[in-house]
Amino acid sequence: MVDLTYKHAGPAKTAACARTVAKAVLGQERLARSLFDELREKTSRGKGIFRDAYGDGENAAHRLVAATAQELALEVEHDAAANTYMTMRGEDRNAPRVVIGSHLDSVADGGNFDGAAGVVAGLVALAALETAGFRPACDITVMAIRAEESVWFTTTYFGSRAALGKLPPEALGNLRRVDSARTLAEHLASSGGDWRALRSGRPHLDPTTIRAFLEVHIEQGPVLESEKLPIGLVTGIRGNYRRPAAKVHGAYSHCGGVPRGYRRDSVVAASEFVQALDRLWEQWERDGKDMAFTVGKLFTDGSRHALTKIPGEVTFSLDVRSIDPDRLAELEQRVETIAAEVAERRGVAFELGPVTRADVGKVDPAILADLIDGAKQLGIPTRRIVSGASHDAAAFAQAGIPMGMIFVRNANGSHNPDEDMEVEDLLEASRLLTWWLVSRCSE
């Protein structure tokens, strides 16, 4: 048990206590492994994971973590979006609380750790605090968030934005899940949510009552793995600008009968557009300007294309990202300029279609500084790292809540069945998280 007299004994004793309590995380390895094993068992289809948003897989994951939280004597509640909240009671229940959270949904045929690692890390931290006999000054809540992945309803951060009362009008429209064709309202109701309450716009989480939001998440790139570091400290989350259904309109014609100068080839135009963006990215890298882009879908019309036909239409998606809001706005203009130049040169028309945007997620400097200090005190090797992927933490930052984020090393990328996070690395993230909770939730 922890000597709780540290609470009024100055920063040196508090820091020593934080290091002591953090050691209790190492005793929670069995809890972490059992949660990941059960998540895999309950939500796998063949090799991959299928935790579909507001479907059987995600619902099973929420039931599992809620049952685990009850075994840990945490308070469990749900909101109108069916998010799950698991709370360790603080000494002052009216004080602004700390929220630790991540999502439990996955892409189809995904990996077992994307999203779930953050919820497991939070539960491990609270279990360690309980084992050490630490009672926080304020409530600490682990939030299991719904529908973070945009693949299911083509909208991002649905669960977190719903909890914060920040859903845009299009997210409350007649959205349908891409695989089932059932409406979001129908899926929500079958998962225990309340569509009518969501439409009222009332937030379940008032930002003024939240002291900080912290998210642990696997890294979805190769940096930590290549540098042999267990965790990374996120400095910010890239915002994005997306065109999910862009098109190039050219002209169908015979491949042998039309000379090069007369062609209006939509595939060549689309390829030239992509290459121009890649050259821009290369130049920006040389200039030290942050960006990334991806054309994740690119295809001709299967009902009209043929081996001997010049393609008259191409449909593609475009995702453009930057950590700098001004650069992101500049990139949006550059995309339109490049499309116009290619269209004129190739005799085609670009229809860029509807656009969606996600703002840059700004990490709170004080939280980042604390985590850097904590990693040093605990002897955890780490580095600062930008998040290229979107995360629920960005929604909390955009609501004005101080936000911090810890990445966990993960081999083989993400959004695939081969995600390979080591539980030992997750425990290092949980140790740092626990250190921060003791340091900042003491008085």
> What are 51-65's pLDDT values in tens digits?
999 999 999 999 999
C-alpha dihedral sign at 153, 155, 161, 166:
negative
* C-alpha dihedral, 70 to 71 to 72 to 73, nearest 10°: 50
* Domain total of the chain: 2
Half-sphere exposure of 45 (CA within 13 A, CB side): 11
Same domain, 232 and 255: no
Beta bridge partners of 249: 313, 349
| Stretch among 68-77, 257-266, 338-347, 353-362 having the lowest mean pLDDT | 353-362
Kindly state the percentage of the chain with pLDDT values over 90. Answer: 88
CA distances to 90, 98, 173, 429 from 441, rounded to whole Å, are: 9, 8, 40, 18
Whether residue 29 has pLDDT greater than 70: yes
Which pLDDT score is estimated for 18?
87
Q: Are 224 and 410 contacting, i.e. CB atoms less than 8 angstroms apart?
A: yes
Mean pLDDT of 6-34: 82
Q: What's the domain range around 244?
A: 240-358
CATH number assigned to the domain comprising residue 416: 3.40.630.10
Give kind and range of the element (H or E) at residue 234.
strand 231-237
> What pLDDT, in 10s, does the model give residues 237-251?
999 999 999 999 999
**Domain's final residue, options 343, 358, 373:** 358
Which pLDDT score is estimated for 243?
95
Whether residue 44 has pLDDT greater than 80: yes
357, 250, 237, 350: which is closest to 290 by C-alpha? Answer: 237
Whether residue 8 has pLDDT greater than 70: no
Whether residue 13 has pLDDT greater than 80: no
Mean pLDDT of 335-347: 98
Same domain, 13 and 113: yes
Instruction: Give the pLDDT band of residue 1 (cuts 50, 70, 90).
Output: low
Same domain, 143 and 213: yes
For residue 267 the two structure tokens come to 């595939």
Same domain, 308 and 338: yes
**Domain's final residue, options 327, 358, 389:** 358
For residue 237 the two structure tokens come to 């989350």
Mean pLDDT of 393-419: 96
Same domain, 229 and 244: no
Which pLDDT score is estimated for 5?
52
List, as own/partner pairs, every contact residues 178-183 make where C-beta atoms lie below 8 angstroms and the sequence separation is at least 24, other chains included. Answer: 178/151, 178/152, 178/153, 178/154, 179/52, 179/108, 179/152, 180/55
Same domain, 108 and 179: yes
Sequence-separated (6 or more) residues with CB below 8 Å from residue 326 = none
Same domain, 168 and 231: yes
CATH number assigned to the domain comprising residue 289: 3.30.70.360
Kindly state the percentage of the chain with pLDDT values over 70. Answer: 97
Same domain, 406 and 329: no
> What pLDDT, in 10s, does the model give residues 278-311?
999 999 999 999 999 999 999 999 999 999 999 9
Instruction: Give the pLDDT band of residue 6 (cuts 50, 70, 90).
Output: low
Same domain, 372 and 285: no
Which pLDDT score is estimated for 429?
98
Which pLDDT score is estimated for 172?
79
Same domain, 126 and 30: yes
For residue 398 the two structure tokens come to 């955009």
CA distances to 5, 20, 98, 363 from 368, rounded to whole Å, are: 27, 21, 15, 7
Instruction: Give the pLDDT band of residue 2 (cuts 50, 70, 90).
Output: low
42, 60, 111: which is closest to 421 by C-alpha? Answer: 111
**Domain's final residue, options 358, 388, 419:** 358
Which pLDDT score is estimated for 268?
98
Which pLDDT score is estimated for 309?
97
> What pLDDT, in 10s, does the model give residues 136-186?
999 999 999 999 998 899 888 999 999 999 998 777 778 899 999 899 999
> What pLDDT, in 10s, does the model give residues 92-127?
999 999 999 999 999 999 999 999 999 999 999 999
Which pLDDT score is estimated for 14?
77
CA distance 53 to 157: 11
CA distance 281 to 285: 6
The backbone torsions φ and ψ at residue 168, rounded to the nearest 5 degrees and listed phi first, read: -75, 160
- The model carries a pTM of 0.89
Which pLDDT score is estimated for 359?
86
Helix (H, G, I), strand (E, B) or coil at 421: coil
8 against 378, higher pLDDT: 378
Same domain, 57 and 154: yes
Q: Are 359 and 393 contacting, i.e. CB atoms less than 8 angstroms apart?
A: no
Same domain, 179 and 199: yes
